[in-house]
Structure 1
Amino acid sequence: MENWLTHEGSAFINFRNYKFQDASTHAFRWVDAKHLRFPSESVGDRELLAALIGHEQFRDDYAGGGVLPEGTRHGPYWLRLVTPDAYEAVSREKSELILREWLNQFGAVPAELEANLRREAFDRLAAADRIHYLSGLGSEAFHDWGGVHGEFHELVIINSSAGHITLLVAADD
């Protein structure tokens, strides 16, 4: 199947690269943002989510292996079990709350990290037309070593006016 999404770039924010007041607070946490462009013609969210799931950038186990074009895993889940129905439409406020609760669970975040998260996550959420949260999968969808992440949060941020979609994953392991 031809995929009409174009990968424009990615950003990986590794908390290890920042100085926390308590050195143990980073807890091997990170945020990964994959930025893709879609054609300007009108397309529904279900079609966008299906195209994203079908894109090779989606084939990432987020456990050090990177994107595997022929991969069978997505994060902690078997790729074949991730469908557009697994995503819940969420408000900008709810998506920010999800990220903030995860982000602040161990205390204050260094200013430089906060600035990078603002640019890659929070500014994109603020500009979004629609946001979807991967919430329809449970542990029964885990692949053979899918429990490696302590927490795994995935947001799909759609900015139709700009023709951009961002796959944002915030996780720890």
Structure 2
Amino acid sequence: MGCRTVTASGGAAPASGAPAGAAREPAPAALTGMRQALAYRDSRFVDFQDFDYPGGRGHGRRWVHIKRFRLPDGSPADRELLDALIAHPEFRDTYDGAGIWSEPRHGPWWSDRISSGTYQSVEASTALSTIDAWAAGGAPLPSDLDARLHAAVRTPVRRATSRYVLGALPDDAHHDYGPIHTAFHELVLVDRRTRSLALVVAADD
């Protein structure tokens, strides 16, 4: 498996299942502009293996990857922001160390099977209970890891003005070597007070 290079324009090659020579329709001008305005800021990575579990066990090869973006000018609706996120090159990440793909892959999924409608609005309490249950995994969290998750995940979830969870996708939405994670949880946090959007992926290998 190799890393795919993103073109300067951010264009994507047809999926491997697409007919040879098939061309993708150009993105509408409004969406292209939105994608450019949704500016990638930085990312944070929390690797549970970096923390001291008793006996060196209990981390379950878990990790959290957070990508942060600046919101565009104006007041686009949340669904427009989700569309812009899906169209952004940083969304084409399989979270397996392969980097950003030109093919439409996102985690274990074909990203062109994901739309803004795939995301479901959730309350902070629901998002937090999902993440905390996954993070514990039957083993108490080391205190420094718990503090890191509080700063990197729990606080942004509580402060967000809206939150979305990636909903269920059919089995045939898995790309040709997915699923590649034991668990894969995804949240999108929109914070209009700080004009930011965060893509949070919590998974284990």
Task: Give the corresponding residue for 1:43.
Answer: 76
Equivalent residue, structure 2, for 1:124: 156
The residue identity in structure 2 corresponding to 1:44 is A
Counterpart AA for 1:94: T
Match of 2:131 among 99, 102, 109: 99
Give the alignment's TM-score, normalised by structure 2: 0.80
Q: For 1:75-128, what per-residue CA distance to the aligned partner results, in whole angstroms no more than 9, with x for missing partners?
A: 010011011111000000000011011011231111111111111111100101
For the 8 Å contact 1:128–1:158, the answer to whether it is kept is yes
- 1:15-65 CA-to-partner distances (Å, cap 9, x unmatched) read 111111142311211000001011242111110000000111111001111
Q: Is the 8 A contact 2:39 2:72 kept in 1?
A: no
For the pair shown, the structure with the greater C-alpha radius of gyration is: 2
Q: Distance in 1 between matches of 2:57 and 2:181?
A: 17
Deviations 1:120-148 (A, max 9, x none): 11110010110000013133211111111
Question: What does residue range 1-173 of structure 1 map to in structure 2 within 5 Å?
Answer: 1-2=32-33, 3=35, 4-68=37-101, 70-173=102-205
Q: What TM-score does the superposition give when structure 1 sets the normalisation length?
A: 0.95
Unaligned 5+ residue runs, structure 2?
Answer: 1-31
Higher share in strand = 1
Whether the 8 Å contact between 2:60 and 2:137 is mirrored in structure 1 is: no
The answer (yes or no) to whether the contact 1:85–1:136 under 8 Å persists in 2 is no
- Residue 130 of structure 2 aligns to a residue whose secondary structure is helix
- SS of structure 1 residue aligned to 2:203: strand
RMSD: 1.2
Matching residue's letter, 2:187: L
- Give me the whole-angstrom Cα distance separating, in 2, the residues matched to 1:98 and 1:138: 21
Give yes or no for contact 1:77–1:146 (8 Å, CA) kept in 2. Answer: yes
CA distance in 2, matches of 1:49, 1:147: 23
Matches of 2:168 and 2:180, distance apart in 1: 19
Gaps of 5+ in 1: none
